[in-house]
């Protein structure tokens, strides 16, 4: 069938036609926003799960919900080598500038002055202007050099400005496992203080399954501070809806056995569901999508995953890292005890620590527990076993 109406969306952060099975997290976020609006405190959320389960999509949904209430929204993606200071400054700068107009309230002027000063701490060449005269506006201490202080003061000024307009500020941080220890400490402290002071700051972070451990190691009270939500495979009923509803909206039906086949092969995993759905749609001549279409769809779907999704990850690894991954693949998706790997490779334990660290930094593996490593993508072990070449 025509790709122009293909409702399936495999890909990083691509909003699915039907966002199902995340009602609990969406409700928690909605409650947080409403509590803050009512002058109450709200627990920041931490979403964690494997790659391709829908964390980014959920954060984007959180952003849309806050924006619909007129809130200021900043959504950033942490990555090694990109300071959070800069990511946040660059995100909020233009957003806030849009609110600048003559007659803006005193708090907004203060916030504008703060964001300009904050951005100047990492980019001295910045010549941003908000088109308003801020000469007489008092300066807040957002350029002390301490990330925790500068970011806290900036966010206080932003929340005060938005509160003046009956709204608040939402800070959404993706790939949060890649934040530095200093950044995690600052973030936890700021979120903690905001809840105590009833600032209208809603925080949600998302990351790999190592996120809860990484947060707690950075700041021990982070264990109680965040509302941890694990994002996993969809329950059978939700997976079915994720597959059927988008087609139904296009007046296309799935034969029962065709849907069963795709659902079984996808195992409730959102990324695979989108990929197989997309390929089955392409294979089908017309509604309904038949079992034969579904079989072709799953086969081309696996092929697409092998040449794209899995391969790009595999190719990020160097030769010695690939050897490490191969040694892990014998244990399947469940993960490996790090101590089991050196004997398999015939090397000393110490010689593997570099590869282990690099693979974690590249987001290919994570450490679910001390002394353990696991793949961040379901199906990666089987993919590696399928690679017969010498890579």
We find the least distance from the C-beta atom of residue 260 to ligand ATP, in angstroms, to be: 18
- Cα–Cα distance measured from residue 237 to residue 86, given in angstroms and rounded to the nearest whole number: 42
Q: Which is nearer to Mg ion, 46 or 323 (CB)?
A: 46
- Cα–Cα distance measured from residue 255 to residue 138, given in angstroms and rounded to the nearest whole number: 67
We find the least distance from the C-beta atom of residue 60 to ligand ATP, in angstroms, to be: 8
Which residue among 56, 60, 338, 367 contacts Mg ion (CB under 5 A)?
A: 56
Interaxial angle between packed helices 319-329 and 353-361, expressed in degrees from 0 to 180 and rounded to the nearest 10: 90
Under the binding rule (CB under 6 A), the answer on residue 75 touching ligand ATP is no
Q: Which is nearer to ligand ATP, 55 or 152 (CB)?
A: 55
We find the least distance from the C-beta atom of residue 242 to ligand ATP, in angstroms, to be: 4
We find the least distance from the C-beta atom of residue 347 to ligand ATP, in angstroms, to be: 30
Helix H, strand E, coil C: the string for the chain is CCHHHCCCCCCCCCCCCCCCCCHHHHHHHHHHHHHHHCCCCCCCEEEECCCCCCHHHHHHHHHHHHHHCCCEEEEEECECCECHHHHHHHHHHHHHHCCCCCCCCHHHHHHHHHHHHHHHCCCCCCCCCCCCCCCCCCCCCCCCCCHHHHHHHHHHHHHHHHHHCCCCEEEEEECHHHCCHHHHHHHHHHHHHHHHHCCCEEEEEEECCCHHHHHHHHCCCHHHHCEEEECCCCCHHHHHHHHHHHHHCCCCCECHHHHHHHHHHHCCCHHHHHHHHHHHHHHCCCCCECHHHHHHHHHHHHHHHHHCHHHHHHHCCCHHHHHHHHHHHCCHHHCEEHHHHHHHHCCCHHHHHHHHHHHHHCCCEECCCCCEEEECCCCHHHHHHHCCCCC
Under the binding rule (CB under 5 A), the answer on residue 75 touching Mg ion is no
Under the binding rule (CB under 5 A), the answer on residue 274 touching Mg ion is no
Instruction: Provide the token pair at 16.
Output: 């699915």
Name the segment binding ligand ATP (CB under 6 A); options: 3-11, 80-88, 99-107, 351-359: 3-11
Name the segment binding ligand ATP (CB under 6 A); options: 48-56, 106-114, 182-190, 303-311: 48-56
Under the binding rule (CB under 6 A), the answer on residue 16 touching ligand ATP is yes
We find the least distance from the C-beta atom of residue 246 to ligand ATP, in angstroms, to be: 9
Under the binding rule (CB under 6 A), the answer on residue 53 touching ligand ATP is yes
Under the binding rule (CB under 6 A), the answer on residue 43 touching ligand ATP is no
Mask of contacts with ligand ATP, 244-283, x by CB under 6 A?
--------------------------xx-xx---------
Name the segment binding ligand ATP (CB under 6 A); options: 12-20, 191-199, 255-263, 284-292: 12-20
Which residue among 158, 161, 233, 242 contacts ligand ATP (CB under 6 A)?
A: 242
225 binds, among Mg ion, ligand ATP, none (CB under 5 to 8 A by kind): none
Q: Which is nearer to ligand ATP, 54 or 74 (CB)?
A: 54
271 binds, among ligand ATP, Mg ion, none (CB under 5 to 8 A by kind): ligand ATP
For 270, what's the count of Cα atoms within 13 Å in the CB-facing half-sphere? Answer: 29
Q: Which is nearer to ligand ATP, 57 or 341 (CB)?
A: 57
Q: Which is nearer to ligand ATP, 154 or 179 (CB)?
A: 179
We find the least distance from the C-beta atom of residue 387 to Mg ion, in angstroms, to be: 25
Which chain residues interact with Mg ion by CB under 5 A? Answer: 55-56
Which chain residues interact with ligand ATP by CB under 6 A? Answer: 9-14, 16, 19-22, 49, 51-57, 242, 270-271, 273-274
């Amino acid at each position: 069938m025509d790709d122009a109406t293909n409702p399936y969306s495999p890909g990083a952060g691509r909003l699915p036609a039907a966002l199902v099975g995340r009602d609990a997290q969406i409700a928690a976020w909605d409650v947080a926003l409403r509590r803050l609006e009512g002058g109450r405190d709200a627990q920041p959320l931490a979403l964690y799960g494997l790659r391709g389960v829908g964390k980014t999509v959920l954060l984007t949904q959180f952003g849309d919900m806050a924006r619909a209430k007129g809130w200021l929204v900043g959504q950033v993606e942490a990555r090694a080598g990109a300071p959070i200071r800069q990511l946040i400054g660059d995100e909020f700068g233009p957003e806030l500038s849009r609110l600048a107009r003559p007659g803006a309230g005193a708090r907004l002027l203060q916030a504008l002055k703060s964001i300009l000063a904050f951005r100047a701490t990492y980019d001295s060449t910045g010549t941003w202007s908000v088109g308003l005269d801020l000469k007489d506006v008092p300066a807040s201490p957002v350029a002390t050099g301490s990330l925790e202080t500068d970011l806290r003061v900036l966010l206080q000024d932003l929340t005060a400005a938005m509160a003046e307009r009956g709204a608040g500020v939402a800070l959404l941080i993706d790939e949060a496992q890649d934040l530095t220890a200093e950044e995690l400490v600052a973030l936890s402290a700021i979120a903690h203080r905001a809840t105590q002071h009833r600032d209208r700051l809603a925080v949600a972070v998302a990351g790999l399954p190592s996120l809860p451990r990484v947060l707690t190691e950075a700041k021990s009270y982070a264990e109680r501070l965040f509302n941890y939500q694990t994002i996993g495979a969809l329950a059978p009923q939700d997976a079915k809806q994720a597959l059927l509803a988008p087609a139904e909206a296009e007046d296309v039906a799935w034969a029962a056995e065709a849907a069963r086949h795709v659902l079984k092969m996808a195992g409730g995993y959102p990324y695979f569901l989108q990929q197989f759905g997309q390929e089955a749609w392409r294979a089908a001549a017309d509604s309904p999508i038949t079992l034969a279409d579904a079989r072709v769809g799953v086969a081309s779907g696996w092929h697409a995953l092998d040449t794209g999704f899995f391969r790009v990850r595999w190719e990020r690894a160097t030769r010695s890292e690939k050897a490490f991954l191969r040694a892990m693949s014998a244990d399947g998706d469940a993960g490996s005890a790090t101590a089991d790997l050196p004997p398999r490779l015939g090397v000393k334990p110490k010689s593997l620590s570099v590869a282990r660290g690099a693979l974690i930094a590249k987001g290919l593996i994570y450490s679910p527990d001390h002394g353990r490593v696991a793949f961040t993508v379901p199906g990666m072990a089987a993919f590696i076993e399928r690679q017969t070449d010498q890579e």
